[in-house]
Amino acid sequence: MYGLSDEDLEIQARAAMLADELIPAEVEAELAGGELPKDVTAAHAARARELGLCATNMPTALGGLGYTTLQQVLVQEQAGRVTNALAWVASTPPSWMPAVATPFQLEKFIIPTVRGEREECYAITEEGAGSDVDAIEATARRDGDDYLLSGEKWHVTSYNSADYAFFQGKLAGGEHDGEHAMFLVDLPSPGVTVVRTPAYSHSIGHHHPIVAFEDVRVPATHLVGAEGDGMSFAYEWFRFERMMVAARCLGAAQRLTEEMTAFATGRQVQGRPIAELGAIQAMLADSLTELFAARSLTYETARNIDAGLDVKVQHAQCSMAKLYASEMAGRVADRAVQVFGGRGYMRENVAERFFRELRVERIWEGTSEVQRAIIADQMVKRGPRALA
C-alpha cells in the first residue's frame, strides 16, 4: 500500500519495533509526571540508535542516516504511536544547519548532536512573540569579538536535558540594527537562568521553562550564518517540523483507530458488541477515513519534497499536511475517548493520554490559524492548482 519500496518498508518495520518496545513503559511514565528512571531513558535512546532511527534527517557525511523525507516521515509516524514523548529518543538534529554552519560549529555542536552526545533546544518564542516571530524583543549587541544576548524566552522545550540552545534576537546597533540573528549558546552559561518551569497538559520528561538571558556573552563564532539571517533559518526548520508533526499525528491516529476498534469489538452492551451500534460505527469509520486522507496527503507531500518541488509550494503543502493531520488526530482522539466510555477518561488509557497530548500539535510549529493563513496566501499568489 502507498507505493512504499522494500527499503521504505524495512525502515518502517524497524521504527515500528522501537514503538512496540516503548509502549509498555507509557503508563509508568504518565503516573510519574512523564519521568522514567534515567537508566531506562538511556537504554531507550541506545535502542533507537542501534535500530538506526536517530539523525535520519542528517547527511551521511556528518554521520547521519540521510533518509529521504518520506523515510523520515515513516520513522516519525511510528514514533507518534507512543505517548508521553518516549519516542523522542528517535532524535532529529537541526537538518538546516549543515548548509549554513561553519566548520567550527559543525565540529563543536552539530556532529556531536548527530552522534547523540549533545542535545539542542530552541529559545525563540517570547511572552509577546509567538506566531509573530518578528515581534521578539530579545537583543544581540556586538561587544568586541563577542555578542551580548539578552531577553526572556518562553516554552523552551527540552531545556532540562539540552546542553546548548539556539537563541534568536534582534541586533542592537551596527549595520544590521533591528534585524534578526541566531546564536548558539552553551548550557549552562553565565547569565542564563530559569525563571520558572510551568506545568503543561501533557506528562513528558521534557520541560518547557521560561528562561532569562541576561547579558550572556557568546563569541562571534557562535553566530549562525550572517547577521540578518535569523528568520530564514526559522522558516526552513518550520517546514521540516511541520512534516514531522503531521507524521507523528498519523501514528497517533493509527494507534487510536486500532485500540478503539479492538475495544468496540470486545465491549458488550445488552448482549452485543458496541461495534455493531451505528453511533459507534460512525466514529470508527470517520476516524479511519480521515486517517487515510491525512496519510495520503502527508506521504504525497514528502514525495514532492524529495522530488525537489518549488520551495514555496513545499511550504504551503507542509502547512496543509500539518493542519489536516493535527486537526484529524485531535478529532480521532476525542472520538476514541467517547468509544472507551468511562475508561477513556482514565490516565492509564491511551485515548485519554492522546486526548491531552495531541492538543499541542495544533499550536506549536505554527498554529492551525497560521497554517491556514500560509495556505490561503499561496493560493492567492499562485492559484490553487499550483498547490494541490
Ligand X SMILES: Cc1cc2nc3c(=O)[nH]c(=O)nc-3n(C[C@H](O)[C@H](O)[C@H](O)COP(=O)(O)OP(=O)(O)OC[C@H]3O[C@@H](n4cnc5c(N)ncnc54)[C@H](O)[C@@H]3O)c2cc1C
Residue 238 CB, nearest distance to ligand X (Å)? 9
157 lies in the binding site for ligand X (CB under 6 A): yes
Compute CA distances 278 → 124, 212, 281, 284, whole Å.
Answer: 48, 54, 5, 10
Q: Which is nearer to ligand X, 209 or 225 (CB)?
A: 209
Binding window for ligand X (CB under 6 A); candidates: 21-29, 138-146, 155-163, 324-332 = 155-163
Which residues, 6+ apart, have CB-to-CB distance to 66 below 8 Å? 58, 59, 60
- Per-residue DSSP letter, 5: -
Residue 301 burial (C-beta neighbours within 10 Å; 0-12, 13-18, 19+) = buried
23 lies in the binding site for ligand X (CB under 6 A): no
CA-CA distance, 41 to 44, in Å (whole number)? Answer: 5
Number of residues that bind ligand X (CB under 6 A): 18
Subset of 191-250 contacting ligand X (CB under 6 A) = 200, 208
360 lies in the binding site for ligand X (CB under 6 A): yes
Which residues, 6+ apart, have CB-to-CB distance to 300 below 8 Å? none
Length of the chain: 388
Q: Which is nearer to ligand X, 227 or 365 (CB)?
A: 365
364 lies in the binding site for ligand X (CB under 6 A): yes
For residue 171, which of 142, 200, 212 has the smallest C-alpha distance? 142
Q: Which of 40, 275, 309, 363 binds ligand X (CB under 6 A)?
A: 363
The site map against ligand X for 35-54 (x = CB under 6 A) is --------------------
Answer yes or no: are the C-beta atoms of 124 and 136 closer than 8 Å: yes
Compute CA distances 44 → 22, 27, 30, 54, 102, whole Å.
Answer: 8, 16, 16, 12, 32
CA 51 to chain centre: 20
367 lies in the binding site for ligand X (CB under 6 A): yes
Q: Which is nearer to ligand X, 229 or 300 (CB)?
A: 229
Q: Which is nearer to ligand X, 147 or 154 (CB)?
A: 154
The site map against ligand X for 98-137 (x = CB under 6 A) is ------------------------x-xx----xx------
Residue 156 CB, nearest distance to ligand X (Å)? 5
Residue 383 CB, nearest distance to ligand X (Å)? 22
- Sign of dihedral through CA atoms 14, 20, 21, 22? positive
Q: Which is nearer to ligand X, 207 or 335 (CB)?
A: 207
Residue 308 CB, nearest distance to ligand X (Å)? 28
Q: Cell numbers 562571534 correspond to what residue?
A: 220
Q: Which of 73, 370, 374, 387 binds ligand X (CB under 6 A)?
A: 370
Dmax (CA) of the chain: 80
Residue 124 CB, nearest distance to ligand X (Å)? 3
Q: Which is nearer to ligand X, 109 or 122 (CB)?
A: 122
Subset of 290-349 contacting ligand X (CB under 6 A) = none
156 lies in the binding site for ligand X (CB under 6 A): yes
Compute CA distances 267 → 115, 273, 274, 281, 332, whole Å.
Answer: 47, 5, 6, 13, 19
Subset of 65-94 contacting ligand X (CB under 6 A) = none
The site map against ligand X for 253-282 (x = CB under 6 A) is ------------------------------
CA-CA distance, 351 to 344, in Å (whole number)? Answer: 6
**Position closest to ligand X via CB:** 130
Answer yes or no: are the C-beta atoms of 97 and 105 closer than 8 Å: yes
Amino acid at site 296:
S
Where do contacts with ligand X occur on this chain (CB under 6 A)? Answer: 122, 124-125, 130-131, 155-157, 200, 208, 360, 363-364, 366-367, 369-370, 373
